Structures are given as structure tokens and as C-alpha cells.
Amino acid sequence: MSDLPHFGSNFLWGVSTAAYQIEGAVDEDGRGRSIWDEFSHSPGRTKDGDTGDVACDHYHRYRDDVALLADLGVDAYRFSISWPRIQPDGVTVEPRGLDFYDRLVDALLERGIEPSATLFHWDSPQALEASGGWENRDIAERFAQYAHVVGERLADRVTRWFTLNETVVFTLLGHGNGIHAPGKELGFGALQVAWHQLLAHGRAVQALRAAGASQVGPANNHTQVRPVDDSDETRDAAHLFDLVYNRAFLDPILLGTWPLAGIVDPVAHDGDLGVIAQPIDFLGVNSYNPQYIAAAAPGGEVPFDQVVPDGFELNDFGWPIIPEGFTQMLVGLKETYGDALPPILITENGGAFNEAPGPDGRVRDQRRIDYTAAHLAALRGAMDAGVDVRGYFHWSLMDNFEWAEGYSQRFGMTYVDYATQQRIPKDSFAWYRSLIAAQHGR
């Protein structure tokens, strides 16, 4: 590990997962149906008709998975809480759901691992979707009540809280083009959904603080935006994409402003921005690769085109591997927001590398190791340039249900045999364990 830079003894090392992607047990202990249950059971919505009904069976195997985390040597584990496990109908509290996360949190603490909980990772109760879901402003209040319930139960033991995960992806893929649940195709009308998520974030920050939570922030997806050429049309398209993808989900929180004013204006009430701009303790940043943007072709549905650039290695999802874009994205955040930018935690970074066990049972995922090492070096470069980054959570602890791609893409440092639920730590697992130990001087 001597070839990797040192991040300091207080730097936080972790991994991330999400409830619907790993838990399974969708009909147990009173859990209600989520929008992803509904979506994945709709024909043609997911690859091969895959669902999260069983996933990694983490609900039953969480103690084994906590043992994996302890073996990995992480400081913290970022997991998400299933809203329909806590409020099956979006209103009524199910004690058995709270009990499960009680057990998980206690198991983590017993192993010296900091519980880092995400309130919402895309699996809202289907019962709320039936009344408009995230298009309905009332969901922000429902979410605040949910945050209050969970905070009252767990805030005394959960180290840090993430309110909503990747509001931009949930907005654009779930409500803009319908690729993800709930499968709506609202185009730019989806930015009303974005506004309601931002409002829910602010209300959740208030609720968590009232419950005693001391470390609270969002987990946003951010990307460096690169125009494919220097034409005015392309630069205008890239600028608009940056506003829609990055700034619409950060300016309201950090600056109390809406960057698309006069372009797309959501229906807002007086005081909304004040609620959204609650002080946060950190900014969670999920990032995988830059986005290359071209001007839209005539007749296009949106005024920009996302393109895959030539000349770069791709992961198995088809995403380009461009570590320097990681540095430039983080430096760009610092340049844009200055003193308004709180300390950053990298809450997701990784790639789909689909290596399977060899004849000896070993999973040689050198490409994941190379990707992670390069991005950690890029992260150190951003820190050296003055960006205040306090921790890194790799995506993901284990292979899991990869949303619309089902089980076809593997992001984990642990291989999951879905037929047997056997967990096989990959070469990257051993590499990351050694990295963490070396960083902490162990």
C-alpha cells in the first residue's frame, strides 16, 4: 500500500449498501409494498424480470454481513432504512421494522463500526405513491414524520444520518424518463419532484435534530460535466445539464437559491427555501464518472445529449473510467460554493466489474482494485488542492440488486452467489482491508 497516498489517521473508511438492493424479506414482519416492489414486478421493467424479493437475504443474514464488515476493518457502514418497513402504509408505525434496525445498529456497535444511516434510498411506500407520491407536496410532511419516528428510536446510537440518496437520479430516472421506479415520464416536469425531495430533506434535518441527531447531511450524486466540443450550442447544453444535474440539488441547500429560475420554476410556497437550506454537517457525494454532453439533435426530447466518450476504458456497465474527473468534480464544488461548502464525505464510488469465481473459488477482480486505487489517488489530489474531504465509502460491500439491471451488474467487494447466498470476499476485499489497516497504522 506504499504506492497510495496517506489520508490521515482520522480519515473515515467505509462501504455502502441500500435496503431494497440487499435486504429481501419483502413480505415479512409487516413490511409494506414499496414502489420498487411494484416496479420490479411489472413486466419489462427490469432485466430478466429480476426483483428484490430475496436479493442478498440480508434481513436474515445481517449478523454474517456485520462479521464481514468487521473482517474488512471499516470504520463505518452506510446502510439505508426501508421506509415501508417502518411505515407500511406511509403513516402507521410497524414496531418490528424498527426492531430490525435496532438489532443491526447494535450489532455494528458491538464490532466497533459506526452506524451511518440513510433515510431514503428510493424505496418509498407504494401506499403514498397511490396518492401522488413525490409529485404530491404532502410527501415532505410524511417524510418528516418518518424521520422523527426513526430518529426517536435510533439517534442515540447512529453516528451520522444521510437524509435522501441521489435526489437527481431518483428525479431524472424515476420521474423524468421512467427507467427507474415509479416509472413516470414527466420530462422537465420531474423537477417538481426534485423540489419536494429538497423540502423533505430540510424537514428531515429538522426532525432528526429534534430527535438528538448531531451529524446530518444529504447524499447527492455529482459529476463533472464535459462539453464534447467548443461550439456555443454544446457549451449551452452542457451548462444547462450542469444546472439540472448538479446545481438544482445543491444550490437550494447551500445557498438558499434555485438555479433554474426562469427556465423551470417549480411550484413553491413562501419559506420553502428557508426550510431546504437547513445547516448541514457534511455533504455526502456519490460519484462514478464525468458526463460528456453534446447539443441535442433536432427534435430531441431534452436540450442536451449524454454521450459515451471514445478513448477510455469502460466498466461492465459501459461507464468510462476517468479518475481525473473525480479530482476536477470535487475541486469544482469548492470553486463554486467556497465557504458555503461543508466537509465532504464520499458516500459512493465504485464500478461494475463482473468477474466470477475461478476454479479455485477465488474472485480476481483486479479491475476493481485498479479503479479504486486510481480514484483514491484522485481524491487525494482534490484534498491537496484544498477540498475538505473527511471519508470514503466504497460502493459496495457486496454484489446486489442493481435496480433496472437486476442481478446482471456486480459492484461488490464481496461476491454473492444468489442461488446459495454464499458470500465470497473478492481480491478487492483483501486489498481494501490491507489499505485500511495501513492507513490506520495497523
Q: Residue 419: CB partners within 8 Å, gap ≥ 6?
A: none
Distance CA 78, CA 118 (A): 7
Helix (H) and strand (E) counts for the chain?
A: 15, 13
Whether 288 has a binding-site annotation, put simply, is yes
Check if the beta carbon of residue 276 is closer than 8 Å to that of residue 198: yes
8: which 3 cell numbers? 490521515
Q: Give strand pairing partners of 287.
A: none
288: which 3 cell numbers? 462514478
Q: Cis ω on the peptide bond leading into residue 342 (within 30° of 0)?
A: no
In the sheet where 291-294 sits, what is the strand order?
Answer: 225-227, 291-294, 305-307
Which is the catalytic residue, given 135, 166, 313, 355? 166
Whether 121 has a binding-site annotation, put simply, is yes
Whether 402 has a binding-site annotation, put simply, is yes
Which is the catalytic residue, given 110, 348, 355, 405? 348
- The verdict on whether 166 is a catalytic residue reads yes
- The verdict on whether 348 is a catalytic residue reads yes
Nearest-CA neighbor of 17 among 48, 59, 46, 45?
A: 59
Phi/psi for 422 (5° steps) reads -70, 135
152: which 3 cell numbers? 426517536
Whether 395 has a binding-site annotation, put simply, is yes
Whether 13 has a binding-site annotation, put simply, is no
Residues flagged as binding site for substrate: 21, 121, 165, 288, 395, 402-403
Residues flagged as binding site: 21, 121, 165, 288, 395, 402-403
Which residues form the catalytic set? 166, 348
